[in-house]
Structure 1
Amino acid sequence: MLQSKYLTEYDMADFGFKSIGKNVRISSDARIYGQENISIGNNVRIDDFVILSAVNGSITIGNYVFIARSSHLSGALGIELKDFSSMAANTVIYSASDDYSGSYLTAQAVPQKYTNYRGGKVVLGRHVIIGSSTTIIGPCDIGEGCSVGAMTLVNKKLEPWGVYAGVPAKRLKDRNKKMLELELELLADDNSNHNGI
């Protein structure tokens, strides 16, 4: 039986990330391109078959962020995942995509001078959770505390503390903010545990 293996801090020391924090767990089956343009905070987990691509552009990952298996983040025009954000399996985030108008050629196999990209930076605010198989296309800013249901298409700004779903995403109701109290408890626990070392 095959089992997932997470890289150690020693393994990742030579990867050449722009920056990397403590307690970072990245599956050995993840694929990372343009690591010099990727910043990773503390307490981050990146699971099997995730692709982080920032050969052009950037990806910035905050603290306490989880990226589930088979998710794909393409940061050509920038992606930022703020603290406590997370995504379920098969989430796709494109900060840029080909120009589908017919005025340019498309596809990665075509030299760049014949193509054109559309899009913009994608930001997942603090405490954002993205449901399985959701597609996010920039530019878009998903406001703090948003919950996005499975198989949703997000291609615009989402206002904070909403529950969204659908194609395209529509706000269904407000989201509970109790998690902000739990965040304070977690951070207090972290601080008291580190002070004893």
Structure 2
Amino acid sequence: MQEPKISAKASFYNIEHILIGHNSRIDDFCVLSAGLGGIDIGRNVHIAVYTSLMGAGKITIEDFANLSSRVAVYSSNDDYSGHFMTNPTVPAKYTDVTHAPVHIGRHVIVGCGAVILPGVTIGEGAAIGALSLVKDDVEPFAIYAGVPAKKVGMRHKGLLDIERKWLG
């Protein structure tokens, strides 16, 4: 097993709440900012350049997942209604921030520029198209795209056979 490959140009906050599995890779200019829920990254995960993972809720990325460049995963989100103030410089009693875990399953691929909001589970083997906004759960091995992301097709499961052959 190989140690993770982590760019010296990536930024990590609250590292005591971040776990990274073997043979995973985190590229330049990524930001991982863990809240109390933490960030748990499996093995053989690729997090491409300029991707960010942040929020107080737990973020889980399972084995063999891939987040393309400029993906943003949020486990916390301000209330945009105007009934509350926003941003972390304001005391919490004046804001209404939602915190919820995000779960990205095994073999998920997320296209560049996609945004994943708090509380979302992306099922095993699903694919998210570039520039999509994921605000609801995603079915396993389904392909979702758009704003908001909608199911547009199904993904082949042959990659599971390849994984079994590779791992023996």
TM-score clears 0.5: yes
115-124 or 91-100: bigger deviation: 115-124
Q: Which has the higher contact order (CA 8 A, sep 6+)?
A: 2
Which of the residues 130, 142, 151 maps onto 2:122?
A: 142
Give the greater-gyration-radius structure (CA): 1
| Residue identity in the other structure for 1:56 | L
Runs (5+) with no aligned partner, structure 1? 1-20, 189-197
Q: How far apart are residue 56 of structure 1 and its match?
A: 3.5
Calculate the TM-score normalised by the size of structure 2: 0.95
Calculate the TM-score normalised by the size of structure 1: 0.82
| Residue identity in the other structure for 1:143 | G
**Residue-pair matches, total:** 168
Matched with 1:38 is 18
Q: How far apart are residue 22 of structure 1 and its match?
A: 4.3
Which of the residues 109, 120, 124 maps onto 1:129?
A: 109
- d(CA) in 2 for partners of 1:22, 1:35: 20
Q: Which is richer in helix?
A: 1
Matched with 1:24 is 4
- d(CA) in 2 for partners of 1:36, 1:108: 21
Which of the residues 147, 153, 157 maps onto 1:177?
A: 157
- d(CA) in 1 for partners of 2:145, 2:35: 31
Q: Where do 1:150-169 residues align within 5 Å?
A: 150-169=130-149
CA-to-partner distance for each residue in 1:80-129, whole Å, 9 max, x for gaps? Answer: 00111111000001111111222321112212232221141111111000
Q: Which runs of 4+ in 1 moved over 3 A?
A: none
Q: Where do 1:40-59 residues align within 5 Å?
A: 40-59=20-39
- Provide the alpha-carbon RMSD of the alignment: 1.3
